[in-house]
């Protein structure tokens, strides 16, 4: 299995990378270091670069966690796929030990999910919840995605 990882929090990214390596799988790091997603940037150029890198390396699953400061709840976008929906339903409630709004949507209109030639999940999480994210649940999600 080859994961395309796109995480804008270094400690969480490092934990996920180590987990994938230990499980014998492969990953392509699509994360942009030193990019503040909350400021004005050429976001289109970054997205095109991620799509190109994902498609050239033939990833199997695109998995993005983006911590954003101006949202109140967790937003989950995913490729339209019955098994991905099952993974989201079974795991997402355990992602954060705090009562928070969780909104799920098929991401067919999201540029990355629309243009990457792989199934994918994008999690947008409020920055204030970084410390409350359960890494073990992220690992479970990745394990479940491997079985697709």
3-state secondary structure of 130: helix
Give yes or no for residue 122 having a pLDDT over 70.
Answer: yes
CA torsion angle for 75, 97, 63, 17 (degrees, to 10)? 150
Give yes or no for residue 49 having a pLDDT over 60.
Answer: yes
Give, as one character, the DSSP assignment of residue 43.
H
What does the pLDDT average to over 129-138? 89
pTM over 0.95: no
Give yes or no for residue 38 having a pLDDT over 60.
Answer: no
Exposure b/e, 95-123, CB count within 10 A at least 16 = b: bbeeeeebeeeebeebebbeebebbbbbb
**What pLDDT score was predicted for residue 107?**
87
**What pLDDT score was predicted for residue 34?**
54
């Amino acid at each position: 299995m080859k994961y395309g990882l796109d995480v804008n929090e270094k400690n969480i990214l490092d934990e996920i990378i180590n987990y994938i390596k230990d499980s014998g799988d492969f990953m392509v790091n699509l994360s942009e270091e030193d990019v503040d997603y909350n400021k004005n940037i050429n976001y289109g150029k970054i997205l095109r670069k991620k799509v190109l890198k994902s498609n050239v390396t033939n990833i199997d699953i695109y998995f993005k966690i983006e911590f954003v400061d101006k949202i109140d709840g967790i937003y989950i976008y995913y490729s339209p796929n019955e098994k991905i929906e099952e993974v989201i339903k079974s795991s997402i409630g355990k992602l954060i030990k705090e009562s928070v709004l969780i909104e799920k949507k098929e991401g067919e209109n999201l540029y990355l999910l629309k243009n990457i030639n792989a199934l994918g999940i994008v999690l947008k999480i409020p920055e204030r919840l970084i410390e409350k994210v359960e890494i073990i649940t992220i690992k479970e999600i990745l394990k479940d995605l491997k079985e697709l």
